[in-house]
Amino acid sequence: MSNTAEIIEPRGGKREVLESVVVRFAGDSGDGMQLTGSQFTHSTALTGNDLATFPDFPAEIRAPAGTTFGVSAFQINFGGREILTAGDQPDVLVAMNPAALKVNLDGLRDGGLVIVDAGTFKDRDLRKAGYDSNPLEDGSLDGYEVIEIDVSRLVLEAVKEFGLGNKDGLRCKNMWLLGLIYWLYGRDRQPSIDWLEDKFKSKPETAAANIAALNAGHAYGETVELPGEILGYQVPQAKIEPGRYRNVAGAEALAWGLVAGAQLAELPMFFGSYPITPASSLLHTLSRLKQFGITTFQAEDEIAAVCSAIGASYAGQLGITSSSGPGIALKTEAIGLAIMVELPLVVVNSQRAGPSTGMPTKTEQSDLYQAVYGRNADSPLVVVAAHGPGDCFDAAIEACRLAVKFMTPVMLLTDGYIANAAEPWQIPDFSTYEKFPVKFHEKAEGFSPYLRDKETLARAWAVPGTPELMHRIGGIEKDYDSGHISYDAMNHQRMTDVRHDKIARVADFIPEQALEQGEADDDLVIIGWGSTFGAISRAVSNMREQGYKVAHAHLRHIWPLPRNLGDLLRGFDKVICPELNTGQLSTVLRAEYVLDVEPLTKVQGQPFKIREIEAAIRRALDGEGA
Amino acid sequence: MNEQTAIKLTPKDFATDQEVRWCPGCGDYAILKGVQKALADIGTPREKTVFVSGIGCAARFPYYIETYGFHTIHGRAPAFATGIKLSNPELDVWIVSGDGDALSIGGNHVMHMLRRNVDVNFLLFNNEIYGLTKGQASPTSRLGTRSPSTPAGSIDAPLSACVMALGVGARFVARGIDRGQKELPGILQQAHAHKGTSFVEILQNCIVYNDEVFGDITDKAIAGDAQIHVRHGEPLLFGKDNDKGLRLDPKTLKLSVAELGKDGVTEDDILVHDQTNHMLAQMLAAMDRPDFPVAIGVLYDNPADKTYDAAVSEQLQVAKSSAKINSIEELLNSGSTWTV
């Protein structure tokens, strides 16, 4: 496929060239904003821009139409330079109704462009959104560039010939606006046309109506003179490393990483799960990949989901379960059992704002304590974190590798932001990945269930069906040598120690911590984990350009921590740890290294903005000769 | 084939080297004996059998059976067993559970295991009391049971395990008694032969916290009148002299006890047990003292066309034979891609 878009010069004028743009689509939950956003993302990637996206939707499936709590949004940042976040501030807001305008206007850049469907700004719509007067008339939009179009009327005209009723006709509004935005940025419509034809294969009239709406929106841009003499924009292609690319959302890459991990371990996979936002998409993706030897089991609850996965590991598959914080809480007792019987298990936690139900569709990183410490008794396990959509693939493989190598549960942390966000991803060459094939224990001589590998301390994995190795395991403490039940005091000390040592030894089998940017003798290091990667990375590179001596380290391995991390951090005058929680990694680092780590925290259900991290860097370094 | 499958197994082959730690006189000893005999008769190689349990006195069972065993957490054994069976359908999977484990903390899992119809055997040791936690009332304790947690007598109505099992879709339901040594191995064999979840309630005496709670069923002097041993295709007769039987009143759809020879009742008037009849099974399961005898034996055995694990395997096979994407490389490159 070609990576060059056809740039049509509009009306004899020149398109203005922009380095990067942030567009936010906002509308009712039923307006198809996520779909519109993903189509625009796709065409943007094909144009050769780098990009990052942020779907931001409510927990209510279909809140009453026109209300502020039913507003769903999709933000995309794209440009001719490397794009690391979905953007601090939208430059363009597409608002499908008054509620969408009300909820999203505050975030818009001063002087930014607002495109509204004026057809939805009637008295009733305004009242529903909580407006006392019409913002299109009362001056609240002064200071912005506003394009008012009666999209509702225009779209009905465009689809009239297909015989759709008013309701179905208006459903094509999102495609009309997408067409207009395509014109605005000089995008090729064909991939979306192809997609619509495929999606509505069985309903050709619906496909045709949507395509007509898309074309009508595009034609409108070409022919109507827009205010501010807007002639469309051109965003140049980014310098992107040569290779084959695709768009990937975090949940998808994570699912593929688990499939790949099971293949590298040469084991069938068992995935036990229970629906919960934002983790369910993993279950959906894996359920369609059964040809890879994946059994997916939608259990009756979170507990059964993890227990069935542990049962599968006991029987010789790679047991995996996934959930979000509240579901992980329910799985906790079973995870303790997996630690006690030392079976491999991957537990994916797609974190969301909490506690309790919290804000299910909003992102947060507040389950780090739960992952590292959140079980009864001394019960260490391995914790690994993904830092972006594409990175989920490698993080998932790493979780599988450590689970089978050390016969241990591994908690794999992702979050709502990573799970839903999409980015262009250079497709890796899978043949270069190192295999870690599992060998079950089959030798009867000298066997006991807790026979350990001298190097890793992992116990022998002997699966039911193996002759002469019948044995019993369970949650009761076992004798170190025989594996029989033991209440012996010193034996419990020894077994507790060995469970601790086994996890500590993982640090010998993971890479040392490296710096993403900066030098080991810089003044300040920003240490992050998970989805804050993009914002930290961009903030650090911006500040380095301004002469600040700031470095960036980002943790893949949360527990155990990389061996050199303490020394690395001590080399800096200051350590700042930005987190979407109240300072959890900061506490862990302080406890481990007795080191002054300054937390930078945010719990608003939204990712960090680049400028928030830049401000923290400035506060830390200004006046210190930076 | 290994040596173990070639030789005929005896009950002793299923004993482990572990000292059995139930209270002396516990009904579990008799059940252990019955299970070991059944396993020897069934003849599945020991390494192909797995015992899974939750928490409680009964849950210690796997330690005393020379097969693979997994002693898990309270109430969750059905979920572990489901994962095991789906991962390796060739294994014979047995679950051992108590009334607290199965019907209280684990009630949800028992329900879903039964409705899914996973091909495992579920043994419920029902002693109508929490033993391991020192004697609290359980979900099967009779009204008024005095226990440390119910000093004035329990006030929540007990549930009938077999009625519950039939209600949530069990395709095999049987009831046995710990001391019924002649009968129990046969019931277990039939449970094993059934494809799908086999639910077997075993009335088990807790000598410490609920001694003789089943005395009104099992005392030798009254057992003949207090128990009815049901057999497929045979009339539902009971009594010390086999002179009583069950009749169905077609107007009220209720069972009644009739005496042969009295009021002109003959054997022809007595219901014949049909283990594939769900309605009859429900009525038999619900019968209780003192008005009726307690039904012992296989109440219901009506296998479904396909077990859950078989359906799961089938979907896997279909996916493998029909998938268009068969390698990680193809997966990563599927859909829309572009080259820079």
d(CA A592, CA A558): 12
d(CA B61, CA B204): 14
A315 neighbors A328 (Cβ within 8 angstroms): no
**Band (A6; pLDDT cuts 50, 70, 90):** very low
In terms of CA atoms, which chain A residue is nearest residue B60? Answer: A474
How many domains does chain A fold into?
3
The reported pLDDT for the residue numbered A10 is 54
How many domains does chain B fold into?
2
Taking the CA of residue A58 and the nearest CA in chain B, the distance in Å comes to 28
| Partner-chain contact A474 B62, CB within 8 Å | yes
Residues B138 and B242 reside in one and the same domain:
no
d(CA A85, CA A50): 10
According to DSSP, the residues that pair with A117 across neighbouring strands are A149
Q: Which of A247, A256, A485 sits opposite B332 (nearest CB)?
A: A256
Q: Which of A297, A319, A430 sits opposite B332 (nearest CB)?
A: A430
The reported pLDDT for the residue numbered A507 is 98
A473: chain B residues, CB-CB within 8 Å: 69-71
B254-259 vs B244-249, strand pairing mode: antiparallel
d(CA A605, CA A363): 5
Residues B278 and B267 reside in one and the same domain:
no
Distance of CA A315 to the CA centre of its chain: 32
Torsion, Cα B183 B187 B192 B198, to 10 degrees, reads -150
Residues A408 and A374 reside in one and the same domain:
yes
Strand order in the sheet with A409-415: A294-298, A269-273, A318-323, A345-351, A409-415, A382-385, A557-559
Mutate which: A314, A427, A441, vs B, most B CBs within 10 A:
A314
Residues A597 and A522 reside in one and the same domain:
yes
Residue type, A449: P
Q: Whole-number mean pLDDT of chain B?
A: 96
| Partner-chain contact B87 A270, CB within 8 Å | yes
| Partner-chain contact B111 A427, CB within 8 Å | no
B88: chain A residues, CB-CB within 8 Å: 315-316, 463-465
The residue to which tokens 């990563």 are assigned: B332
DSSP summary character for residue A307: H
The reported pLDDT for the residue numbered A15 is 85
Q: What is the mean pLDDT of residues A142-154?
A: 94
Q: Which of B2, B66, B83 sits opposite A272 (nearest CB)?
A: B83
| Partner-chain contact B109 A240, CB within 8 Å | no
Instruction: Tell whether A181 is covered by a domain.
Output: yes
Last residue of a domain, one of A234, A257, A291: A234
Mutate which: B3, B16, B19, B76, vs A, most A CBs within 10 A:
B76
Burial of B157 by CB count in 10 Å (0-12 exposed, 13-18 middle, 19+ buried)? exposed
Residues A170 and A22 reside in one and the same domain:
yes
| Partner-chain contact A469 B323, CB within 8 Å | no
Instruction: Tell whether B130 is covered by a domain.
Output: yes
ipTM above 0.95, yes or no: yes
| Partner-chain contact B338 A1, CB within 8 Å | yes
Taking the CA of residue B47 and the nearest CA in chain A, the distance in Å comes to 5
| Partner-chain contact A311 B80, CB within 8 Å | yes
d(CA B185, CA B191): 10
| Partner-chain contact B339 A245, CB within 8 Å | yes
d(CA A405, CA A225): 64
pLDDT in tens, B38-61: 999 999 999 999 999 999 999 999
Supply the angle between the helices A204-223 and A190-199 in degrees, to the nearest 10. Answer: 160
Instruction: Tell whether B322 is covered by a domain.
Output: no
DSSP class per residue in A81-136: S---SS-SS-SEEEESSHHHHHHHGGGSPTT-EEEEEGGG-SHHHHHHHT-SS-TT
Taking the CA of residue B158 and the nearest CA in chain A, the distance in Å comes to 24
d(CA A170, CA B147): 67
B132: chain A residues, CB-CB within 8 Å: none
Residues A195 and A264 reside in one and the same domain:
no
Tell whether the model's pLDDT for residue A59 goes beyond 90: no
Residues B153 and B101 reside in one and the same domain:
yes
The reported pLDDT for the residue numbered A62 is 76
- Tokens for A434? 């190192």
In terms of CA atoms, which chain A residue is nearest residue B308? Answer: A297
Residues B120 and B250 reside in one and the same domain:
no
Which residues are CB-contacts of A232 (< 8 A; sequence separation ≥ 6)?
A10, A15, A16, A183, A184, A185, A186, A221
| Partner-chain contact B87 A295, CB within 8 Å | yes
The pTM of the full predicted model, rounded to 2 decimals, is 0.93
B91: chain A residues, CB-CB within 8 Å: 315, 464-465
Integer-rounded Cα radius of gyration of chain B:
23
Q: What is the mean pLDDT of residues A449-453?
A: 97
Distances from the Cα of A613 to the Cαs of A71, A520, A552, A578, A616, in angstroms? 28, 20, 12, 8, 5
Q: Whole-number mean pLDDT of chain A?
A: 94
> Which CATH number belongs to the domain containing residue A575 in this structure?
3.40.50.920
pLDDT in tens, B287-310: 999 999 999 999 999 999 999 999
Instruction: Tell whether B332 is covered by a domain.
Output: no
d(CA A613, CA A623): 18
Taking the CA of residue B248 and the nearest CA in chain A, the distance in Å comes to 38
Residue type, A193: I
Mutate which: A188, A290, A291, A331, vs B, most B CBs within 10 A:
A291
Residues B222 and B250 reside in one and the same domain:
no
| Partner-chain contact A473 B18, CB within 8 Å | no
Taking the CA of residue A280 and the nearest CA in chain B, the distance in Å comes to 19
According to DSSP, the residues that pair with B338 across neighbouring strands are A245
Instruction: Tell whether B166 is covered by a domain.
Output: yes
* Range of the structural domain that residue A416 is part of: 246-432
Residues A579 and A531 reside in one and the same domain:
yes
Tell whether the model's pLDDT for residue B5 goes beyond 60: no
Residues A224 and A347 reside in one and the same domain:
no
Residues A229 and A284 reside in one and the same domain:
no
| Partner-chain contact B108 A464, CB within 8 Å | no
Instruction: Tell whether A439 is covered by a domain.
Output: no
| Partner-chain contact A289 B69, CB within 8 Å | no
| Partner-chain contact A259 B340, CB within 8 Å | no
Residues A224 and A254 reside in one and the same domain:
no
* Range of the structural domain that residue B265 is part of: 238-272
Which alpha helices (H) appear in A272-345, and where do they start and end? 280-287, 302-314, 325-341
Integer-rounded Cα radius of gyration of chain A:
27
Distances from the Cα of B200 to the Cαs of A25, A92, B69, B162, B174, in angstroms? 59, 66, 19, 8, 5
| Partner-chain contact A243 B82, CB within 8 Å | no
Tell whether the model's pLDDT for residue A625 goes beyond 80: no
| Partner-chain contact B340 A268, CB within 8 Å | no
Q: Which of B76, B81, B323 sits opposite A303 (nearest CB)?
A: B76
pLDDT in tens, A576-601: 999 999 999 999 999 999 999 999 99
CB pairs under 8 A between A and B: 203
Residues A37 and A143 reside in one and the same domain:
yes
Q: How many residues does chain A have?
A: 626
| Partner-chain contact A45 B338, CB within 8 Å | yes
B125 neighbors B177 (Cβ within 8 angstroms): no
Q: Which of A244, A316, A465 sits opposite B47 (nearest CB)?
A: A465
The percentage of chain A sitting over the pLDDT mark of 90, rounded to a whole number, equals 88
The reported pLDDT for the residue numbered B81 is 98
d(CA A347, CA A125): 45
pLDDT in tens, B229-246: 999 999 999 999 999 999
Residues A264 and A409 reside in one and the same domain:
yes
Which residues are CB-contacts of B238 (< 8 A; sequence separation ≥ 6)?
B224, B225, B227, B228, B229, B244, B245, B293
B125 neighbors B31 (Cβ within 8 angstroms): yes
The reported pLDDT for the residue numbered A3 is 39
d(CA A347, CA A79): 36
Mutate which: A423, A431, A470, vs B, most B CBs within 10 A:
A470
- Tokens for A278? 């934002």
Tell whether the model's pLDDT for residue B157 goes beyond 60: yes
Helix (H) / strand (E) containing B176: strand B172-177
Last residue of a domain, one of A406, A432, A458: A432
| Partner-chain contact A485 B63, CB within 8 Å | yes
Last residue of a domain, one of A234, A258, A290: A234
**Band (A2; pLDDT cuts 50, 70, 90):** very low
| Partner-chain contact A315 B88, CB within 8 Å | yes
The percentage of chain B sitting over the pLDDT mark of 70, rounded to a whole number, equals 98
| Partner-chain contact B68 A1, CB within 8 Å | no
Last residue of a domain, one of B249, B272, B295: B272
Taking the CA of residue B7 and the nearest CA in chain A, the distance in Å comes to 14
A42: chain B residues, CB-CB within 8 Å: 336
The reported pLDDT for the residue numbered A9 is 54
**Band (A65; pLDDT cuts 50, 70, 90):** confident
A299 neighbors B79 (Cβ within 8 angstroms): yes
Greater model confidence, A3 or A94: A94
